[in-house]
Amino acid sequence: MLFFLFIIAVTVFVAVYISINQSHKVNETFLRISDSQNALFHAEKLLSATEKNEIVVREYILTGNENYLTPVAQIYNDIQNDYKQLNVYTRGNLLQQKKVDSLPFYISGGQAWTDSIITVRRNEGQEKAMQLISTDTIQHFVTNARNLIENIKVEGQKLQKAREQANVDAVAGFKKIWYLVIGLLIALIIMITQKLKVDVNIGRKI
């Protein structure tokens, strides 16, 4: 009888140990999915803010109306905040992080050319500002910045799919372990029940 109790205790211990490890794996994969979702969210916001900045600048160039510049300061703040959040949520992926590390160059550069174009429009007029914003240097800069953010999004989408699959596998593994443990416990209970019946029958015969 003591042997069967020992087997049960060992089985329960192993089951708890394995299930805790598998549970941690499930939680870890879920948190990674959350990181991917947040990274995609802030990458999208960053892209949206840069596009909004371009629209605001072009509207100001065309009209000269200073009211169009009202959102610029907030756009700058949004870009900085979304970059910081994106930097946090991409730390788990070296490929994404490498691209994110390149963003400050484009962020500071984008603010610099925005300020320059605004200054030219104020001091030299619409034509000069249009010439400046149409230069290959600024066009390439804007295009490269947009492409960089798009690439970060693409990598994020791939990573999210991989992490979702890892989570599915972890949950499936967790369920398999518990099915196995439950099966073993049922088998042990049946064995103990049979052993007790045999002992009772032997006792009656004696």
Q: Give the span between the Cα atoms of 141 and 152, in whole angstroms.
A: 17
H runs (alpha helix) in the chain: 2-63, 72-89, 94-100, 103-124, 126-133, 136-205
CB 37 within 8 A of CB 160: yes
Quote the tokens at residue 109. Answer: 């550069």
CB 174 within 8 A of CB 26: yes
CB 52 within 8 A of CB 65: no
pLDDT digits (tens, 9 = 90+) for 62-99: 999 999 999 999 999 999 999 999 999 998 788 888 88
CB 146 within 8 A of CB 43: no
Sign, CA torsion 14/15/20/22: positive
Q: Indicate if the pLDDT at residue 13 is higher than 80.
A: no
pLDDT digits (tens, 9 = 90+) for 96-129: 888 899 999 988 888 898 999 999 999 999 999 9
